[in-house]
Amino acid sequence: MYYKKSSTAVLLLAGVFTALLYSCKDDKDVTPSLNVTLSVTKDTTVNVGDSIIIEAIADNNVPVTHSWKINDTLTITGWRLAYKPGVAAKYVIKYEGSRANGTKVNKELTVDVVPKVRPVTGTSSKYISVVYEYFPAPGQFVNESIGTPEGAQKIIGGTSNMVHLGAFGGYVIFGFDHSIVNKSGADLAIYGNPLKTPTEWSEPGIVVVSQDINGNGIPDDPWYELAGSQYNAEGTIKNYKVTYYNPKAVANVIWKDNRGNSDTVLINRFHNHQYYPLFAANQDSITFEGTVMSNTFGLMPGSSVYINAAFAWGYADNWSTDATKDPYETNMYNSLDIAWAVDKDGKAVTLNAIDFVKVYTGQNCKGNTLLGEVSTEVRGAADLNME
């Protein structure tokens, strides 16, 4: 009897153990699998300045730890990603959901953050709406009415007033109350005051453009030169730099460049005053850098008249000789195409629109004491895509 009782107890214990084993196995089997659904399920596009918002929802209310990686550099935790990118670019978003038992789920998508194109509205103007910066190099009209910050503001809203940029590198930066869209053909008109032959007088200004890729409304984004006819021409120098030194008197302004050359901006009797900008923050010296084109100043063949010859196309204040790309004589403004934009290495870039325009004097030529230095003038600008 004792033996039977002992055997029964053992069998009962074994049964209980087996039941518990299978019970645990069944519990594991019924645990919900890890399924996570993202509110954004495919690659998408947002405007710069807007937030990337993605939510992760786990099925069956399973406890999940959520982690997001942005371009493999920034990690954000939590079930809801809210990230505001600083600049326009492609952002790779990697999501990982994990449970305490080690189960994981991974998802990935790309968000293309693009510059916001400010649309034309019923109140938009085709002319300049804002002058962001005016910084002339020394010149004969500098410190006169068209060579002051106050004078530069007058090119807003039309083409009746003019601003003087001075010698090589002097510039003005302006914009519009909307983005100028890159369409087929010329997009931008810049007005100047060149003269046609036979008393030809052009003062070509290089045009660079920028798009507001960080969405902050100020021109602190990369610049792209509109590559005109001289961009790859013999005599054109990239990364050219000139420093002008303030004589602090009515006197010629000495300059030195980064190629070992030096010369002066000449004072002339018609503008007998200081040529160094008296409103510059630095009253000792100022430096400008950019692309410089070959000089075209000299006597008109067979005469004693001095001229400054125009280039074919692609510049401001230039009586262009290519009537197809820049029919100045017909339009009385220079026609610029955003599609001509190149980066600092000379590679073509595609801009869907621009928000900022910079024009600077593109020749380093002292001229003479009669005519003065070669210095670009700007008499306004317009969006050619508007009527």
The tens digit of pLDDT for each residue in 110-124 reads 999 999 999 999 999
Exposure letters 198-236 (e unless 16+ CB within 10 A, then b): eebbbbbbbbbbbbbbbbeeebebebbbbbbbbbeeeeb
Three-point CA angle 234, 185, 376, nearest 5°:
50
**What is the structure's pLDDT at 32?**
63
- A 10 A CB-CB count for 48 gives 20
3-state SS class at 23: helix
Answer whether residue 315 shows pLDDT above 60: yes
Strands 74-77 vs 65-70: parallel, antiparallel or unpaired: antiparallel
- List the chain domain ranges: 36-114, 130-383
Question: pLDDT tens, 323-365?
Answer: 999 999 999 999 999 999 999 999 999 999 999 999 999 999 9
Please tell me which residue, 95 or 5, carries the higher pLDDT value: 95
Answer whether residue 6 shows pLDDT above 80: no
Q: Tell me, which fold does domain 36-114 have in CATH?
A: Immunoglobulin-like (2.60.40)
Quote the percentage of the chain above a pLDDT of 70: 92
Question: pLDDT tens, 253-282?
Answer: 999 999 999 999 999 999 999 999 999 999
Q: To the nearest whole number, what is the mean pLDDT of the chain?
A: 92
Tokens of 121: 């509205």
Tokens of 367: 């001229």
**What is the structure's pLDDT at 377?**
98
Quote the percentage of the chain above a pLDDT of 90: 86
Tokens of 58: 């786990």
Answer whether residue 33 shows pLDDT above 90: no
Answer whether residue 42 shows pLDDT above 70: yes
Q: pTM value?
A: 0.85
Band (pLDDT 50/70/90 cuts) for residue 30 is: low
Please tell me which residue, 3 or 134, carries the higher pLDDT value: 134
**What is the structure's pLDDT at 61?**
77
Task: Find the mean pLDDT for residues 136-161.
Answer: 98
Task: Find the mean pLDDT for residues 294-309.
Answer: 94
Residue 378 buriedness (CB in 10 A; 0-12 / 13-18 / 19+)? buried
Distance CA 274, CA 243 (A): 17
